Amino acid sequence: MPTLCKPAVSVPEHVITMEDTLELARTLHPDHPQLPLALRLIGNTGVAKRHLVQPIEETLKHPGFESRNAMYETEAKARVPRVVTEALGNAELRPEDIDMIVYVSCTGFMMPSLTAWLINTMGFPGHTRQLPIAQLGCAAGGAAINRAHDFCEAYPDANVLIVACEFCSLCYQPTDLGVGSLLSNGLFGDAVAASVVRGKGGTGISLERNGSHLVPDTTGWIAYSVRSTGFHFLLDKRVPTTMEPLAPALRTMAAQHGWDAGELDFYIIHAGGPRILDDLSRFLEVPPEAFRFSRATLTEYGNIASAVVLDAIRRLFDEGGTADGARGIVAGFGPGITAEMCLGRWASELSEAALTTERQVLGSALRGTAAGHGTDAPTETVL
């Protein structure tokens, strides 16, 4: 069965602390009429520090979109290969073992995608499929896992490399002075992450079901305005309330699989901000400690967009993993408002055979239940 192996994560060397961020806001915007509100919101993010691809003095400049996008390409090519190499090692695979590369990023643009460059420079086969995803924002980390899962279901012997490359600091816009923009300036950080989904074998999260949910009429809540100066990030004040409609979607997907979303063993959730995690804890009726991996990512790195879920998964591995068969959920949230969700169990290579048998029994039982009630079987994959 497809298994998500240990991710590799790297953050740039330039660090900005919460104290630095607050002082910069006071210095740059002393006469802003909503400065006290912005300072309070930034202080409430729980972000202790963030990592940037440039020193803060350079980050605050705007040399133009062309220059910034060139820097995105340069930094991606400099930083991604090492993370990819580590992720392949974690999965005990070589470049020639990879059948598809899913590359997710919303902070720069390249065509051909970085996937083509990776294939040409790192020894991946010429027949490697390429799937670049650029417009799902923070939800793309979850989407990448789900598309890798789907591919390995279609091709059981295949292996998929996932790469998330986010340089959020390159989207800083000094003329954007709304409270949402000021908050974003104190929330987002830079990171590169990679992981492999193995079609067979491996230790990690054995993927069982995935799904997507879009909250109606929220397309303007998280968005880019694309202008001559680049990507201008738009963040609606209603975004922190999105767990109220998304928590039921998590519950529904878990219930379709015969699980209770409030009684799982591990939770990997996109850490868009502290209220997201606080509200989800309340709506799912799980203790705040359940989201410790996501909170640690937010505290130490800030919101690193699509890389958040991979970093939180890496922290689960670093804690020693969990018991074989332990059940969990992974969810990324982003523009749309979109949730990309998946369910899986912790599995080592030795436990995979037993889990396969259990899934087959569960799948037969669920199909039998659906037939007995005269209803259609669930649309998502049941293994």
* Residues with a known catalytic role: 138
Question: What are the residues whose beta carbons fall under 8 Å from the beta carbon of 127, sequence distance 6 or more?
Answer: none
Q: Which residue has the tokens 């519950």?
A: 251
Range 223-229, long-range pairs (CB < 8 A, 24+ positions):
223/335, 224/106, 228/65, 229/62, 229/64, 229/65, 229/173, 229/175
Element (H, E) at 268: strand 266-269
- DSSP code string of 285-325: T--GGGGHHHHHHHHHH-B-GGGHHHHHHHHHHHTT---TT
Alpha carbons 79 and 86: distance in angstroms, whole number: 12
Alpha carbons 118 and 137: distance in angstroms, whole number: 22
Say if CB 327 and CB 345 are below 8 A apart: yes
How many angstroms separate the first and last alpha carbons of the chain?
9
